[in-house]
Amino acid sequence: MTDARDTLFSDPLEAPDKFRFDDSVARVFPDMIKRSVPGYSTIVAMTGMLAGRFASEGSNLYDLGCSLGASALAMRQNLQSPRCRIIAVDNSAAMLERCRATMDAEPRATAVELVCADLCEVPIENASVVVLNFTLQFVPPERRDDVISRIYAGLRPGGVMLLSEKVTFNDPPLDALNIALHEQFKAANGYSELEIASKRSALEDVLLPETLHAHKTRIGAAGFSSCDVWFQCFNFASLIALK
């Protein structure tokens, strides 16, 4: 399978009305996310490093909303603890098909189980690490509290949750500035004004971001003992939560 350049929103007559993680997105996803999410490669690499630090022997590591498996692969490459298992979950069969090809191309001792399912329905058990990289923002807001609570319940003591999200800001000028900076980032990576506007429209009512305060409040209410931001670039942030 060959990764292609993202031109999905370059033609207004062919651009999708609503964003879906179908085969057309899966085909261009590596290019799309690299050119759309500032700091993405750093987030993935550090996710692997953090997973290697917190993974405990005989535990499960979850990549929820795994897409093509970048975070799962980074975890796999950094694991030192024996008898661990990585469970990569996504509800897009097209994404998982390419994820499987990625995993097969780089075999490692640690098993990776691919699960095609709604992450809201997947049990979290015996976990030392749970990763949601740009995943919760696509979950209906009314289900997010339950997702984080189930993750907390399924983590071992000393386990960690790693959460990366697009965020909003309570202060309107600051929110507007970060949106403008993000769009400037995408323009610098070759997206036209038409592409930026079309994709923004397609993601409306699909990607629903929240403030960092909302995320921290939810994480604290679930029972996590510590939580803070470990990476941020414009309106994209990564949090670490400790049990």
- pLDDT attached to residue 113: 96
Query: DSSP letter at 64?
Result: E
pLDDT digits (tens, 9 = 90+) for 208-240: 999 999 999 999 999 999 999 999 999 999 999
How far is C-alpha 184 from the chain's CA centre? Answer: 22
State phi, psi for 226 to the nearest 5 degrees. Answer: -145, 145
Higher model confidence: residue 81 or residue 185?
A: 185
pLDDT digits (tens, 9 = 90+) for 65-85: 999 999 999 999 999 888 999
Is pLDDT above 70 for 1?
no
User: What percent of the chain lies above the pLDDT cut of 70?
Assistant: 99
pTM confidence score: 0.96
pLDDT band for position 2 (cuts 50, 70, 90)? low
- pLDDT attached to residue 219: 98
Which structure tokens are listed for 166? 């697009």
pLDDT digits (tens, 9 = 90+) for 121-175: 999 999 999 999 999 999 999 999 999 999 999 999 999 999 999 999 999 999 9
- pLDDT attached to residue 171: 98
Any residues with CB less than 8 A from the CB of 23 and at least 6 apart, and which?
Answer: 94
Residue 15, sorted as left (phi over 0), alpha (psi -120 to 50) or beta, turns out to be beta
Distance CA 36, CA 25 (A): 13
39 contacts 231 by C-beta, under 8 angstroms:
yes
41-73: b (≥16 Cβ within 10 Å) or e: eebbebbbebbbebbbeebbbbbbbbbbbbbbb
User: What percent of the chain lies above the pLDDT cut of 90?
Assistant: 91
27 contacts 3 by C-beta, under 8 angstroms:
yes
- pLDDT attached to residue 3: 65
Average pLDDT over residues 48-77: 97
- pLDDT attached to residue 13: 81
Q: Shortest CA distance to 148 belongs to which of 74, 48, 47, 219?
A: 219
- pLDDT attached to residue 107: 76
Average pLDDT over residues 88-111: 91
State phi, psi for 238 to the nearest 5 degrees. Answer: -120, 130
Distance CA 149, CA 158 (A): 16
Average pLDDT over all residues of the chain: 96
